[in-house]
Structure 1
Amino acid sequence: MHITRKRPDTRQGPAENFTGSVWLDELAAPAAPSRLRMFNVHFAPGAHTAWHRHPHGQVLHVLEGEGLVQRKGGAPESIRAGDTVWIEPDEWHWHGAGPRTFMTHLAVVEAAEDGTTTEWDAHVGPEDRPANGSSA
């Protein structure tokens, strides 16, 4: 057993992977042979990820606020505090806060054998976000 009391500093999500103000707190990245990675991700209103996918899928658990998640080819779906989302391995998707609310979620992924957890793609275009300003 290992209890972590000191964590890396909160870091801002890089502009090449996020739109708007996003902050990341690494919660768990145990040493090998574990490949688990867990982050607490804080999105300001309207902030969101770019399109991306994970080799072994991803679990999102919304802690507070409201947001959106969308898989490639699907409609944006609302997510709220208490919701848990399972994203399939290699499923292209994005997620983030609603247009008028903050949203914080836990993100849990498993790294691939080479250590990668995420493949990033293009930023989400306005055609992908709800036009009416709602959370879908």
Structure 2
Amino acid sequence: MDKTEPKNSGNRIIFPKGEKITNHCFIGTTWVETLVSKDSIFNCPIYNVTFEPGARNNWHKHPGGQILLVTGGRGYYQEEGRPVQIIKEGDVVKIQPGVKHWHGAAQNSWLSHIAITANPQKGEVEWMEPVSDEYYLRLKIEEEA
């Protein structure tokens, strides 16, 4: 697995990394670039999100659902009450409206994905508790088993 930061060349990262996220909803360093803003014409906000190794977002819900298109690296996606899934370049994750979930990079790889906000007129994302270090670090052990 690649432990280095993604580069803007070749097939490693497609869209700009954007600005570093500086809020309480993420653990580790994460960047976001708005590709399509929410507006009255397209009504479909789209973001490029890049996580450094070990970075992840808090548990959260999207009232209208979300779609993730993984464009690089390797990471995790999990819905509440379900086992964690490994996600990698080329994967598509369709998250149903109102489903509590989290996603982020694996411990030994960066992760980049396009996040598409479905049905944004249904409301803003609801941020919840962080994914604890204790829980997250245990994922690598389970993955290797």
TM-score (norm 2): 0.79
Alpha-carbon deviation of 1:133? 2.1
* More moved, 122-131 vs 90-99: 122-131
Superposed displacement of residue 125, structure 1 = 1.7
**What SS does structure 2 have at the residue aligned with 1:24?**
strand
In the alignment, structure 1 segments of 5+ residues that lack a partner are 1-8
1:99-122 C-alpha deviation (Å, 9 max, x unpaired) = 0000100000035437x4311001
- Deviations along 1:56-99, one digit per CA (max 9) or x if unpaired, are 11100100100000001111110010000001100000000000
- Aligned residue among 18, 23, 26 for 2:26: 18
Whole-Å separation in 1 of the counterparts to 2:20 and 2:142 = 24
Q: What value does the CA root-mean-square deviation take over the aligned residues?
A: 2.1
Residue 140 of structure 2 corresponds to 133
Structure 2: distance between partners of 1:68 and 1:134 = 14
Aligned partners of 2:75 and 2:88 also within 8 Å: yes
- Cα contact 1:78–1:135 (8 A) shared by 2: no
Between 73-82 and 121-130, report the one with greater CA deviation.
121-130
Alignment TM-score, normalising by the size of structure 1:
0.83
Q: Per residue, is there more helix in 1 or in 2? A: 2
